[in-house]
Amino acid sequence: MIRCEHGQEVMNSGGVASSVIFCVALSAAFVTRLAFLDAGFGNDPDSWRVANVAREMALTGRYSASRLPGFPVHEIVCALFVPFGAVALNAASALMSAVAVALFALFMRREGCRDYALAGAAFAFTPVVYIASTTTIDYMWGSAFLVGALYLTRTYRPVSAGICVGIATGCRITSILMSAPLAYLFWTESVSRGDRAGKVLSSFIGAASVIAVTVLAPPFLTYGFGFLHYYETDSRTLLSSVRTMTIGVWGPLGFAGVLAAICGCVLYRCFKAHAARSVSSDSLLRASFMALALYGLAFLRLPHEPGYLIPTVPLFLFCLSRLLGRTAFVVACLAVVVSPFFQLATTDVREGPIVADYRERLLWTRFTRYVAQVEDTLPQNSVLVAGDWLPKLDRREPVSGHHRFFELTSEEAQMYAKQGFAIYYLPGQRRYAGGGIAQATPLVGDTVEEAHNFMLMRQEK
């Protein structure tokens, strides 16, 4: 038996039992992803960018970033599997997500959570995690190594934990944020053990730094310090960012369950003063809050995708397990587990995020094939402004006399118009066609909604 800082006795995390739990959790999580792997590389254009550069690297042997600052570990591994198609690349994401789930279950078991299996299931079925696990995106790669680093930190292995943080940084550079709370944990643990804190921290930070520098060498050697550049997008309102951080991560039903559990627990403690738990001496809880704050601030700086917050999901679930009563925690986890499959509407029950995302992936895969057919029929001297659709079309070269661009400036659009080129743009991309000049013509609808309805009608015929 092991006694944790907060006084709970927990089961021994080593031995055969842990190996069995790891294998069972990994297998179960992986199986739940299999039905959603065959619908292209994903709805996120970045998934297609990864596939495109993976194909390019497989052909040329030279590194190329899918987008800056580069995600070399994921991109290079994908280059090895890209000949086997989208299912293989998606399956790699599914496998890494299963590793993350299995490690998280072991971590929760070690920390004394009696419902560690349910906590692992909640992590596996969190909508943003589930969707990222079935597409060619790097989120779960980084998260798997970060959960591994967290587990190794709690078992007091600074070098191994540092190696995991370094590899995670090569998957997603923002993974380096996790080094601060993990260093804090090593410091508190080394002090409590009477070890030399400086030596332990230098081992952890040194290993993380060496590995991070090594895995980030390809983008640095290719782009210099310019690889640290990142892309700004349209600014979002605070309300939109909050929605992304909540419903975008947990799904409507999952967020409602988590919120209800938290509110119920707060109300209970307001009336039962003795029920309040002391967390002032819980270094792991403080480190979790530190990580949540760091990732939250980073997200508010660039609130692009809910997937950016995936590293916070296991830490948030851990905080719930420590701060909520067992019943409230179980309720929250169960709500999250069913959240990807169902959404409650005012009059009926609708399909949840993972099902809706899969249907959208199938629809937009058919759409890009249709666009390719229509593009071939355009007149000679045509320009297609693809905008955000470009990564999904880049796997197919345009025919002779046709040009395809992400964006045209107003000057470029005017130049092509004067030369007699016909300018077309794909749904929702008018702003990229010379700022929406009058000469630009929509191809398959002006808006994404029009294109969506058009494809639904074609499907019904």
Arithmetic mean of pLDDT, 115-136: 97
Supply the pLDDT for residue 123: 98
| Distance in angstroms (rounded) separating the CA atoms of residues 320 and 265 | 10
Residue 11: which pLDDT band, with cuts at 50, 70 and 90?
Answer: very low
Contact 121, 333 (CB under 8 A): yes
Q: What is the pLDDT of residues 93-107, one digit of tens each?
A: 999 999 999 999 999
* pLDDT above 70: percentage of residues in the chain: 89
Residue 9: which pLDDT band, with cuts at 50, 70 and 90?
Answer: very low
Residue 91: which pLDDT band, with cuts at 50, 70 and 90?
Answer: very high
Contact 42, 137 (CB under 8 A): yes
Arithmetic mean of pLDDT, 29-49: 94
Supply the pLDDT for residue 231: 65
Arithmetic mean of pLDDT, 215-223: 95
The more confident residue out of 2 and 422 is: 422
| Distance in angstroms (rounded) separating the CA atoms of residues 432 and 394 | 17
Q: Which of 46-55, 76-85, 303-312, 348-357 has the lowest mean pLDDT?
A: 348-357
The more confident residue out of 266 and 408 is: 408
Q: Around Cβ 193, how many Cβ atoms within 10 Å?
A: 11
* 271-275 LR contacts (CB < 8 Å, sep 24+): 275/325
Tell me how far CA of residue 141 lies from CA of 95, 331, 453, in angstroms: 9, 29, 35
Supply the pLDDT for residue 346: 66
Arithmetic mean of pLDDT, 232-257: 86
Contact 256, 342 (CB under 8 A): no
Supply the pLDDT for residue 163: 98
Q: What is the pLDDT of residues 399-450, one digit of tens each?
A: 666 888 889 988 888 888 888 888 999 999 998 888 766 678 898 889 999 9
Q: What is the DSSP letter of 397?
A: P
Is it the case that residue 370 has pLDDT exceeding 50?
Answer: yes
Q: Tokens representing 455? A: 């494809």
Interior CA angle at 386 toward 383 and 390, to 5°?
125
pTM: 0.90
Q: Around Cβ 90, how many Cβ atoms within 10 Å?
A: 27
Provide the residue ranges of all domains of the chain, joining segments of one domain with +.
2-340, 354-460
